A and B are shown apart, each in its own frame.
Chain A
């Protein structure tokens, strides 16, 4: 039974289902409803099939390899290699796509009559198939093809709501950035090909001892930039806060939840698997980037009042936390501490899974809010929990999970990441120890700020009174949308309670990636699901923690309600208003809430404040007609990093146009002659 489920037929079936969904949607494009149901239903079937396949692969522990290579046409070569790591990412992707497709059935309805639903269904299914192939391919060329399909499909999805010029602009930025990334990846693979003679990952890995160190280092840097663009590390993140809000919400959920993880997947695959053994400084570089991404990511999230941009910046933060695990694993394996490397990689994988779950939950519930209010601006929300209680509850669950508060899943993966860093402090030498002390402090700061940011996000959106007419008329999401969110919310709880079991499974995956045997086991699960690190340095029990956090408040409630003063009268009254009329303008706003934190970190965030006054009479300037204050945070990356490069390119192309490409045929013939001579000379030298 198990072997039947784990057979490649299941994978092919999943791909076929997505294919039928996509092509069928295009054929049914005349009818919006049919196209929506068709494509979403097949995406659901495909996700379930892929999930069953990947879970049974993990359960049986086997590896599936398929290859067709032709030497004359390397472009046609096709190679799949599904080991435990790939199967884990397949599980993550298919869980998220399942619930997003379910949610999509209801969410897509708002596009009926405005856009072509058939093409949306086609691109959506194509996008998922490409993601599934990205994490299973084991050949550089084949990988690049599916990677490009994934990028292009997601580009069209980002620009899908094309009547808003902002979305088209965001899509273009994403297209440019992602291709810069692809260019770097291409260079990395070509370098590897030149020195190993193959695009196949297993062949490259086998030939690794013969590759000179400086080539490996260049491949590392190229791949770090290339995959870093997709993962959204700072400072390569600029497309992320623009593109994620632009896409339809169920697509944003997939992009933020799993697409950016394909960058993480390839970093783990290359740095910890294919390119091993790695020098120590790789890990240090990854750790430094991770610290920058998580601290700056959460700080920028605090400055946002666009709910989807806020969530997008939190994705950057969480990618940083995942990379803390990956970077620590690199450092530990370079120092020969395989047990610690397994611990750090386990933490990274667990946080990957958890972030996929709670971030897609948050994007979906933000999507319901946007659907109900018609705006992404949090200042226009307020009091929504009374109008949309289910969505509010799910957003609350997501907020608790992403803030790493117990007993939900986010806490346990952050706990594990902390343990890896603590062990780094305890067991390494002087300089590396100080590095880990700094990294630990950065992670603690990040998680503290994340709690503040989600108090802001949840409080400003769902609590107090509505601050706009649209918010007053908000309505609850439809049943399928609620079902999609509910599934993810339940998973947040279940993965939290069952975290010790899941961590034990992930540890075997990490051991497989790092080729570390069972002797290198730092995480042990003792009786009663108690998770224990390094022989009792740290222990935690997820079921006990969950039980107590639910039971004790309930006991307190029961005693206060029924034990003391049972005849108490509870009346509903107005909030104390100090004698004035309390309007919704007196509530704290998103900007106001985060202002003190922004001012504390003004050295990093560079906030600016502009006053402007318009007068009734420009000449006398006595009576102001309107006063406005503009608060903003500088985009330092565009200003100091991207703009100079951009200006440089403009200068270069002017120089080429005026200097070299001057329209003079004689000059062109001269160029040809020069090139010919140089080539002849080179041949002579060879």
Chain B
């Protein structure tokens, strides 16, 4: 049973993530009065890219060649550490700081790969990406820290077991920390209003401009890793702050309930993202620190209320 659960745990993020991207894209198409592609289109895209030939810049070094594997590997590792459907699968890998910094390792190599080919776009994309991720890190750590103090452990896999659901005292700090975490989510996964995931317009893009030189298998891995990242942050958002339905034992019924409740909650996050991206405009780059400051203040208040 435990082995089976581990297999589900490890496979969940990479297998489900492209579906989420498909969901967002088709919803956005509907809002724009288009029919849009099928929900499974991202899987087809990945398949297509994996079977294409590849061009690598002659200026690029081994960093460019290995960065996609590191970026993908990091999201698989972190994906396996999350409280996806149960709070019973825990390893020392699920430590809050280990997760944050492992994700940062992926960003580090992705930013270096952006600079590696020597194009003007890649470099400016890396610069913008690192600017945002440098400032967002403090909010990332402190919003999860609020829950950690409530539950008495920084192991995110078992954190939800320490929270007694429905306890009124926790509600205000959790809601504040959740609001902060939502801003972190938007920033870390390059969504509106920080970045426009659909555009290749040089003035606005951040994440995409680092990927411009990638093609074939490496581009597939980079896009897959970005989808995984979005799912990782969504799972963190729903299962750390609102762990309703998550299984606290390994019985078949509670595991099934856990999986379906997570899918439902993550779907809600994706729907909100799609609506958000269809209704608001992207912020000017230098207004983003204001938003991150808001996240930071929310966190400080939340931690202050916990203690």
Contact = CB atoms under 8 A, between A and B. Distances in A.
Nearest to B100: A444
Given A451-B104, A596-B285, A552 B77 contact: yes
Contacts of A565: 50-51, 217
Given A452-B133, A596-B285, A564 B126 contact: no
Interface stretch (B28-36, B58-66, B170-178, B251-259): B58-66
Nearest to B57: A575
Contact of B127 (A465, A552, A553, A596): A596
Contacts of A622: none
B235 to A, nearest CB: 18
Nearest to B52: A568
A571 B128 CA distance: 29
A571 B52 CA distance: 12
A518 to B, nearest CB: 24
A411 interface: yes
Nearest to B158: A536
B131 A596 contact: yes
A182 interface: no
Interface in A148-162: none
Contacts of A548: 77, 93
A16 interface: no
B277 interface: no
Nearest to A563: B50
B123 A448 contact: no
B61 A385 contact: yes
B266 interface: no
Given A444-B142, A455-B111, A464 B92 contact: no
A464 B303 CA distance: 43
B307 A464 contact: no
B116 interface: yes
Contacts of A404: 101
B135 A448 contact: yes
Nearest to A531: B92
Interface in A587-605: 587-588, 592-597, 599-600
Interface in A437-471: 437, 440-441, 444-445, 447-449, 451-452, 454-456, 458-460, 462-465
A359 to B, nearest CB: 18
B179 to A, nearest CB: 17
A647 interface: no
A426 B97 contact: no
Contact of A536 (B73, B153, B217): B153
Most chain A C-beta atoms within 10 Å of own C-beta, residue among B51, B53, B63, B131: B131
Contacts of A433: 307
Interface in A376-432: 382-383, 385-386, 392, 396, 400, 403-406, 411, 415, 418, 422, 425-426
A425 B127 contact: no
Give the size range of A's interface with the partner.
Answer: 35 or more
B92 A541 contact: yes
B54 A537 contact: no
Contact of B108 (A434, A449, A451, A537): A451
Give the size range of B's interface with the partner.
Answer: 35 or more
Given A572-B58, A593-B127, A597-B134, A458 B112 contact: yes
A588 B92 contact: no
B141 A575 contact: no
Contact of B296 (A386, A441, A569, A594): A441
Contacts of A588: 115, 120, 122-124, 126-127
B111 A459 contact: yes
Contacts of B135: 445, 448, 600
B217 A465 contact: no
Contact of B115 (A415, A426, A459): A459
B56 A577 contact: no
B199 interface: no
B138 interface: yes
B119 interface: yes
Contact of B213 (A530, A571, A576): A576
A455 B61 contact: no
B126 A553 contact: no
A665 interface: no
A503 to B, nearest CB: 14
Contacts of B97: 415, 418, 538, 540
Given A553-B73, A592-B127, A406 B56 contact: no
Nearest to A541: B92
A448 B101 contact: no
B98 interface: yes
Contacts of A63: none
A536 B62 CA distance: 39
Contacts of B98: 406, 415, 540, 545
A6 B59 CA distance: 54
A425 B303 CA distance: 9
A597 B138 CA distance: 15
A549 interface: yes
Contact of B117 (A386, A405, A464, A554): A464
A437 B303 contact: yes
Given A426-B307, A553-B73, A570-B216, A582 B118 contact: yes
A548 B153 CA distance: 23
A96 B126 CA distance: 33
A448 B155 contact: no
A639 interface: no
Given A433-B307, A444-B141, A386 B61 contact: yes
Nearest to A569: B53
Nearest to A445: B138
A194 interface: no
B236 interface: no
Interface in A499-550: 530-531, 536-541, 544-545, 548-549
A432 to B, nearest CB: 11
Contacts of B165: none
B54 A455 contact: no
The 4 A-B residue pairs with the shortest CB-CB distance, nearest first, are A588-B123, A464-B118, A448-B137, A553-B73
Given A456-B130, A588-B123, A597-B130, 17 more contacts: A385-B61, A392-B61, A449-B134, A452-B131, A459-B115, A463-B63, A530-B92, A536-B153, A538-B97, A540-B92, A544-B93, A549-B105, A556-B221, A582-B118, A596-B127, A600-B131, A600-B289
16 contacts: A383-B59, A406-B101, A415-B98, A448-B135, A463-B61, A538-B95, A538-B97, A540-B98, A545-B102, A560-B221, A568-B217, A573-B56, A574-B58, A575-B60, A587-B123, A597-B131
